[in-house]
Chain A
Amino acid sequence: MLAKTFEEKQVSTRSASNRKSKLSKTIKLLFNSKTGTVGLFLIILVTCLAVFAPWLTSFDPAQVNPLARLQPPMWMEGGSAEHILGTDNLGRDIWSRIVYGSRISLIIGIGAVLFSGFIGATLGLLAGFYGGWINAIIMRIADAFLAVPTILLMLVFLAVVGPGLRTLIVVIGITSWVPYARVVRGEVLSIKEREFVKAAQAIGAKKKRIIFKHILPNVLSSFIIISGMNVATTIVLEASLSFLGLGVKAPAVSWGGMLSDGRQYVATSWWVATFPGIAITITVLGVIFLGDWLRDILDPRMKMKNG
């Protein structure tokens, strides 16, 4: 008993020091990759906007000011230093809306991905573990989800439950779980087939425990890779839905909603639509770069494939 704990302790300290050197190695790798560095920088930038929003602007993003409608950015004629990027059709300050809008993008991007990861992992585990008709049903549902474009499903869900921040997270979550489920299911199936599991089973160990112990480390890298891509598409999706008037509702600020306002005034006030689009592009670019870099270090096979 004592000997065992001692051994375990040794193992854990060894793995801790391993992890540490792995981390520093990873950081080194990150800065070796130019796009990875740029991606990290962009993500930090957007995160700072979201976190420090109240300190970055003195305007309430939802404050309507009919006297200051459609003011151009400060560097243009008619612009003022007060509204750096100008104002929109209701006289709201665009800079402060962009700053606060980053919160919605990040919350939904991360929230929805975590949620879909959770659903996918659960269903994948169930399908892989129990097999049989449970597997058949889950995988057929997955096929059906794949057959219909995600945005279509979302529209149906949104028609039913109505727009809103939480709904959006849930809806995006339940419409993009399929890749996670497939990865987890595949992993469970391959672990089930491995010798040590069969051996452990033969000596009466609980298969469940063994599988759970081995699944997480094995699917983690696939999960991170899928999530990287998903965060990017989710941010665009949120913007798209808000653009269609099905996203978050005022007074919450979404970049997609800003674009929808901007679309109507594009003929006279270009800045209303331009800046939120740039904000989305920068954020998504950051996520793509960081995600690509993660994929490259986590999956050497994929890296080779992409040259």
Chain B
Amino acid sequence: MTRYLLKSILQIVPVLFIISMLVFVLVRATGDPVALMLPESATEQDRIEMTEALGLNEPLYVQYGIFISNAIRGDFGISYHYGQQALPLVLERLPASIELAVVSMVISTLIAIPLGILSALKRNSYLDLIISGISVLGKAMPNFWVGIMLILFFSVMLGMFPVSGRGGLENMVLPAFTLGVGLAAQMTRMIRSTMLEILNQDYIRTARSKGIIEAIVVGKHAFRNGLISVVTIMSLQFTSLISGTLITETVFAWPGLGQLLVAAVNNKDMAIIQAAVLIIALLVIVINILTDVVYRLLDPRIKYN
């Protein structure tokens, strides 16, 4: 187990390297950071000093080396929009985003698992048809529009929940459902087809031949195998979850990383973009390793070597 973990942590390195390179190249391609950072009234002398101070006279690979060594120490430079170190700004926003993401994931799982199983069990029935229909619709509706429609219905018309911001539970409801419903739509479809496949397996027939009731056949024998697939499905969902969070945060003015990042992109605030992208990439990788570990714990067939 430890060996496996070590091995997968080692595998992160090249991926992070490529991402950092990508970010670096793109940022250097943006144009002249000096012009962006200095006021228009700056003199030529100011420009030269600034260029020197930023190390922009060095060859590109040296600049990259500096960028990496700074990044490892957590220094992504100063956000010129906020005039502060970028990393603390990013980390400060992280909890709000994670909170939204986790609650949405829980909601989507709670919706998708029962619906997916139900529609697999009642395959080709009207219930299955309705569930499949809703989940296709859920996939087709862009989730920021769903968010706006939820605001229209629950906030504007019924006045039940606040329109935007973060605070108590009531602030959480609409954004979390917006994100959760979209994820649930995809997940339901995947769980349905996984369960259908599992219910056709020989060991399900064996379980039935033992005379145990159908609820145990499904709840124990099928579900325990399905759980392995659910973990895979959830890890696949994770990237959609992050994209969804970015947009949902904008719809609901949720003060998370997404909002910060979108604003940074609009302002060309490169320090923040670099920090945010690398932090999110790291997060994705860590989650992937974690799901892999859970996967291995659930499936006795997988060995650690």
Contacts and interface: CB of A to CB of B under 8 A. Distances in A.
Interface of A: 140-141, 143-144, 147-153, 155-160, 232, 236, 239-240, 243-246, 256, 259, 262-263, 266-267, 270, 273-274, 276-277, 280-282, 284-285, 288-289, 305-307
Contacts of A281: 137, 140-142, 145
Contact of B152 (A153, A270, A282): A270
B123 interface: yes
Interface of B: 14-15, 18-19, 22-23, 26-27, 29-30, 123-124, 136-137, 139-142, 144-145, 148-149, 151-152, 156, 163, 193, 196-197, 239-240, 242-243, 246-247, 250-251, 261-262, 264-266, 268, 270, 273, 277, 280-281, 284-285, 288
A306 B277 CA distance: 36
B251 A149 contact: no
A270 B156 contact: yes
A144 B27 CA distance: 17
Contacts of A306: 193, 196
Given A273-B148, A281-B142, A150 B239 contact: yes
Contacts of A259: 142, 144-145, 148
Given A147-B284, A148-B19, 6 more contacts: A152-B243, A153-B22, A273-B152, A280-B140, A307-B193, A307-B196
A162 B246 CA distance: 19
| Top 4 A-B residue pairs of the complex, sorted by shortest distance between their CB atoms | A277-B145, A144-B18, A151-B243, A285-B140
Contacts of B23: 156
B102 to A, nearest CB: 16
Contact of B262 (A141, A144, A244, A262): A244
Contacts of A263: 144, 148, 251
Contact of B26 (A156, A236, A240, A262): A156
A274 B137 contact: no
A277 B136 contact: no
A240 B182 CA distance: 14
B242 A152 contact: yes
Nearest to A307: B196
Contact of A159 (B123, B137, B264): B264
Contact of A144 (B15, B26, B239): B15
B137 A285 contact: yes
A245 B261 CA distance: 13
Nearest to B30: A160
B280 A149 contact: yes
Contact of B142 (A144, A239, A246): A239
A262 B124 CA distance: 39
Given A159-B268, A245-B266, A281-B145, A140 B15 contact: yes
B152 A274 contact: yes
B144 A243 contact: yes
Contacts of A236: 142
A151 B197 CA distance: 32
Given A147-B284, A156-B273, A266-B148, A305 B266 contact: no
B121 to A, nearest CB: 12
A245 B23 CA distance: 21
23 contacts: A140-B14, A140-B18, A143-B18, A147-B19, A147-B281, A147-B288, A149-B242, A150-B239, A150-B243, A151-B246, A152-B280, A156-B277, A232-B140, A240-B144, A243-B142, A243-B144, A243-B250, A259-B142, A276-B145, A280-B142, A280-B145, A307-B123, A307-B124
A274 B273 CA distance: 32
A156 B277 CA distance: 8
A229 to B, nearest CB: 10
Nearest to A276: B145
Nearest to B29: A160
Contacts of A244: 246-247, 250, 262, 265
A150 B277 CA distance: 11
A243 B247 contact: yes
Contacts of B144: 239-240, 243, 259, 263
A307 B120 CA distance: 9
Nearest to A284: B140
Nearest to A280: B142
A156 B274 CA distance: 8
Contacts of A284: 139-142
A155 B265 contact: yes
B74 to A, nearest CB: 20
Contacts of A274: 149, 152
A56 to B, nearest CB: 23
B280 A277 contact: no
Contacts of A288: 136, 139-140
B148 A144 contact: no
Contact of B27 (A140, A147, A149, A160): A160
A305 B246 contact: no
A236 B182 CA distance: 12
Nearest to A262: B148
